[in-house]
Structures are given as C-alpha cells and as structure tokens.
C-alpha cells in the first residue's frame, strides 16, 4: 500500500506598488497609503507562509533608444525575511515620474510564474492612472495595461487596491478601493477571502 497525500497548497505573491509622481510624497499622500497597504498585505502573506515579494515601479520617457523605460525596485525579495529592515524598505514612499502599469504588471506576472508554487497572485497598489511610455502597437498606456491584464495566463490571478478612493475596476476584475489607512482592514478582507478561497478549493 502507498499513502497518497495531496501536496499542501503554496502561493507565490508579487505585491506591486505604484511609485509614480501622481502618488505624491509624505504623510496623507497616495504614496503613504500605498506603503501602508503594502505593509499590511506583506504581513498577511508572511503569516500565511506564502512566498512573496514587494516591488515598486516608475517610468520615464527617453533612454538610450528614446522609447522610455520602467524601473522596477525590489523592496523585499521572494527569498528575503520579513523583519524590521524589510518593513522599513517597504515603508519608503519614494516616487518617480510616470507609471507604465502594463510593463510593471507584465514583469510581475513573469516573476510569479517562475516561482515553485501551486497558486500565483499579483497585487497592484496604485491610483489607477497609467501614464508614460508604452509599446508602439498601443495608442495609450491604458490600452497596454488592459491588454496585459486580458492576456494574463490562467495560472496567475491579479488583484488591485485603488489608493485614495481611486477606482481601478476599469482595468482589473478583482478590485477594491480605500480612502485612507483606517479602511484597509475592512476593504481588503473581500479580496483576501477570495484569494484564500481559491487556495482552499484547489487543495
């Protein structure tokens, strides 16, 4: 006789924070609330035992080929531990210029696909206003983001948190919005329940 035990479900999560100029800087800014949401989600993922990373992004026109670029900054890597140092890195609300969300979301999708996991998720935390460089075959950054989300592989689920009451449901099917830090717990619960429900069902 051979004992057959199903593998314990294991999730890999990429937490993506918009660090563009429209997010602002300092207390009560969109960037401040985005980092607060990032810390809360990171602590939840850590307690669940999921592999996760926290990254931010900003974009800029120009560059070597004048076609623009998107800079990805890893605040907490998949292999990193959740401690005082990583929490401080996540809490750094620095911002850049534009935000080519499509490039950043696509980057995160590819990252979680490389993880050894039974479930893969991307959480975007932004103000839902794509701007900046996009591929030549897209007329706007919004069109590019829409295409990336629609073409997301079946083994990756995308969730979105709109900061400062911004509605991101135009781009993401799984979207919630928060006005300030006080609403984090209540408004994020539906998203987390759906995510954890998928993990349990597949188990």
Model confidence over 31-46: pLDDT tens digits? 888 888 899 889 989 9
Model confidence over 144-198: pLDDT tens digits? 999 999 999 999 999 999 988 889 999 999 998 888 777 777 787 777 777 777 7
Give the residue, 88 or 185, on which the prediction is more confident.
Answer: 88
Closest by CA position to 82, among listed 45, 123, 35 = 45
Average pLDDT, the chain: 86
Class of residue 151 by CB neighbours under 10 A (exposed 0-12, middle 13-18, buried 19+) = exposed
Closest by CA position to 88, among listed 131, 38, 20, 24 = 38
């Amino acid at each position: 006789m051979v004992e057959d035990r199903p593998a314990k479900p294991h999730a890999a999560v990429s937490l993506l924070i918009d660090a563009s100029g429209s997010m602002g800087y300092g207390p009560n800014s969109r960037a401040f609330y985005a980092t607060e949401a990032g810390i809360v989600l990171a602590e939840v993922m850590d307690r669940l035992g999921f592999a996760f990373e926290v990254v931010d992004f900003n974009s800029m026109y120009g560059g070597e080929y004048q076609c623009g670029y998107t800079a990805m900054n890893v605040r907490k890597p998949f292999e990193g531990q959740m401690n005082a140092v990583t929490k401080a890195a996540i809490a750094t609300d620095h911002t850049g210029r534009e935000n080519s969300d499509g490039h950043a979301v696509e980057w995160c999708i590819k990252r979680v696909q490389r993880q050894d996991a039974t479930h893969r998720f991307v959480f975007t935390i932004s103000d839902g206003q794509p701007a900046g460089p996009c591929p030549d075959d897209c007329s706007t950054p919004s069109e590019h983001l829409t295409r990336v989300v629609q073409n997301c592989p079946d083994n990756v689920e995308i969730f979105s948190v709109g900061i400062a009451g911004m509605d991101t449901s135009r781009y993401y099917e799984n979207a919630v919005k928060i006005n300030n830090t006080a609403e984090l717990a209540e408004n994020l619960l539906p998203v987390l329940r759906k995510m954890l429900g998928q993990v349990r069902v597949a188990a």
